[in-house]
Amino acid sequence: MPDTFRALYAEQVEGRPRVTLTTLEDRALPPGEVTLDVAFSSLNYKDGLALTGKGKVIRKFPLVPGIDVAGTVRASSSTRFKPGEAVFATGWNMGESLWGGYTQRTRLSADILQRVPRGLDAKQVMAVGTAGFTAMLCVQALEDAGSLRSGREVVVTGAAGGVGSVAVALLAALGQRVVASTGRREHEPWLRSLGASDILDRAVLAEKGPPLASERWGAGVDSVGGQTLATVLSQTAFEGAIAACGVAGGPDLPVTVFPFILRGVKLLGVNSVLVPMDRRERAWQRLVELLPADKLAESTSVVPMSKLLELAPEILAGKVRGRVVVDVNA
The verdict on pTM exceeding 0.75 is yes
Query: Which residue, 324, 282, 288, is CA-closest to 303?
Result: 324
User: Which domain range does residue 45 map to?
Assistant: 4-116+299-327
Same domain, 53 and 137: no
Per-residue pLDDT band for 1 (boundaries 50, 70, 90) equals: very low
Task: Check residue 225 and give left, alpha or beta (phi > 0: left; psi -120 to 50: alpha).
Answer: left
* Residue 260 neighbours by CB under 8 Å, 6+ apart: 266, 267
> CA-CA-CA-CA torsion for 196, 198, 201, 206, nearest 10 degrees?
-80
Concatenating the DSSP letter of every residue in 187-210 gives: GHHHHHHHTEEEEEEHHHHHS---
Is 139 inside any structural domain? yes
Q: Assess contact for 104 and 110: CB atoms under 8 A.
A: no
* Residue 245 neighbours by CB under 8 Å, 6+ apart: 134, 137, 138, 163, 221, 222, 223, 269, 270, 271, 272
Bridge partners of residue 198, in order along the sequence: 179
Q: Per-residue pLDDT tens for 59-86? A: 999 999 999 999 999 999 999 999 999 9
User: Average pLDDT of 275-281?
Assistant: 97
Same domain, 162 and 42: no
Same domain, 140 and 253: yes
Q: For residues 77 and 193, give the distance between their C-alpha atoms in angstroms, rounded to a whole number.
A: 46
Q: Per-residue pLDDT tens for 122-157? A: 999 999 999 999 999 999 999 999 999 999 999 999
Same domain, 108 and 176: no
Same domain, 190 and 100: no
Q: For residues 242 and 51, give the distance between their C-alpha atoms in angstroms, rounded to a whole number.
A: 30
Bridge partners of residue 68, in order along the sequence: 90
Same domain, 139 and 62: no
